[in-house]
A = this chain, B = another copy of it.
C-alpha cells in the first residue's frame, strides 16, 4: 500500500467536511489516513463566518501542522484538505493545495486528485486570452474556466467547466456557502461521502478516512456526478450524461489502503484474492515458504500461502525509520543505502526455496534488488509471483507511470524480465484473473475497471498526450496491441 520502495506514485488525496465544530482537526486526522496518497505537501482551508483561511506547506501533514495552534487558527465548522504527490518535479510551495482565491465577489478554495489530459491545450487557450497562471498544477485550469464561464450561477459555471476538462480527476471545492465534490466521467479516481453522528457531511478519496474520524459511509460519488453540500444538506447532480465506469485497477492493486473499500470491494480482500488466484494460475509445488514484499504485497502473499498450503513467513522486513530525510550515502556506499529500506531475514530464508510475492513490477530495479537480497541471505531459489498483469503501457489519469521506456514489460518479454531480475521463475496474474479477483459487477468493459496500463485501452482518451505516446511506443507495445 505504501509507495516507498518503487516508482509508483498516486497523485494526491482530498478531504472535506461540512458542519462539525472541529472541522479542521477532523480534516487533519482524515488527511493522515490519506497520507499514503501523497507525502510531498499538505494543506487545509477552513471557513469560519464567511472567512476562508489556509495553512499549507511542503512535507507530511504532521510536519505541516507541527503546532496545534496552526490547526486551531483554522476555525470554523467546514474545511477541505489535501495531501500532494507531484509527478513533474515541480515540488515547490506554489503547487501545494488547497488553492485559495479571494475575489471581490467570492472566496473559493479548491483541491484536486488526478491528471487532466487536455490541461496543456486548455491552459494555452486561456493564456492567449490573458489568463495568468501561478502554479504549474492542473488544478488552476478549472478555476480559470469557472471564473470565465458566462453561466448565471456558480453551480452552472462549475458544471460547464467540468465538461471542459478531460482525464481522471476528483475535485473538492469550498466557498463561504457551499462545498462541492466532483468525479470525472469515468470515475477513474475515487471520491466517497460519509456522515458524522452529528450530521456533518464528509468527503474523502478513500473510505479509510471516513472510518478514521468515526463517520458512516453514505455513498460513492459516481462517474460524472457533482455533489453539493450546503445548509440544505446533500444534493447529487450529474454534470454530464456521457459516462462510463472504469475505476483504476491500480487503486486495488497498489495505491489504496487495505482497509478502504472502493465501489464496495475491500482492498485487502481483493489483494488476498489476487494472491489466491495467482497461486492457482502459477503454482509452485515444491517451495518451502511464501514471503511478501512489505507492505503493499502482504495481503496477496498471505492469499498465495493460504491457497497453496505453503507456509507464509516474514522473510523481508522493512525499516520503518528510513524516511524521506535519509541522507544519500557516498557513491561507494550507495548500494548499501538502498539496502537500508528492506532487509532479508537470514534465519528465515537460508537454504529455502522461496516464493516471493509482489504486487507489480515497474522498472524492475526493485525486484532485482530484492531477489539479490534474498539470495545473499541464503535463499536456495527465488520464484517471483506478481499479483497483477505486466505493466505494459503508461498511465495518464493520475498515476506516475508516464514513460513507456521506463516500463520493463514494455521492453522485455517475461522470460527476459525473469533473467533480468535474477529470479528462478517469474509469473504474472492474468488480466482475467485480476478482473475476477476484484470482482466488480458492472455491465461495462472489464466489469467496470480501467485496465489501461495492462492493455493500452484508455477510456477517457489521450488528447494532449496522444502524439507523444504514439511516437514513443515500443515494439512490444505495438505487437501486444495488434495481438489484442
Contact = CB atoms under 8 A, between A and B. Distances in A.
Given A68-B330, A340-B29, A132 B261 contact: no
A66 B348 contact: no
Interface in A1-34: 1-2, 22, 25-26, 28-29, 32-33
Max chain B C-beta neighbours (<10 A), residue from A144, A311, A314: A314
Which size class do A's interface residues fall under?
35 or more
A22 B333 contact: yes
Nearest to A69: B327
Contacts of A343: 33, 208, 211-212, 257, 259
Interface stretch (A122-130, A357-365, A433-441, A460-468): A122-130
Contact of A258 (B140, B148, B298, B317): B317
Nearest to A376: B214
A302 interface: yes
Interface string A174-195: 0000000000000000000000
A345 interface: yes
A302 B295 contact: no
A476 interface: no
Nearest to A377: B211
Nearest to A150: B130
A329 B25 contact: yes
Given A32-B319, A268-B345, A132 B313 contact: no
Interface of A: 1-2, 22, 25-26, 28-29, 32-33, 35-36, 39, 60-63, 65-68, 71-72, 93, 101-105, 123-124, 127-134, 136, 140, 143-144, 147-148, 208, 211-214, 257-259, 261, 266-269, 272, 295, 298-299, 302, 306, 311-314, 317, 319-323, 325-330, 332-333, 336-337, 339-340, 343-348, 377
6 contacts: A29-B329, A29-B340, A35-B319, A101-B132, A130-B148, A259-B348
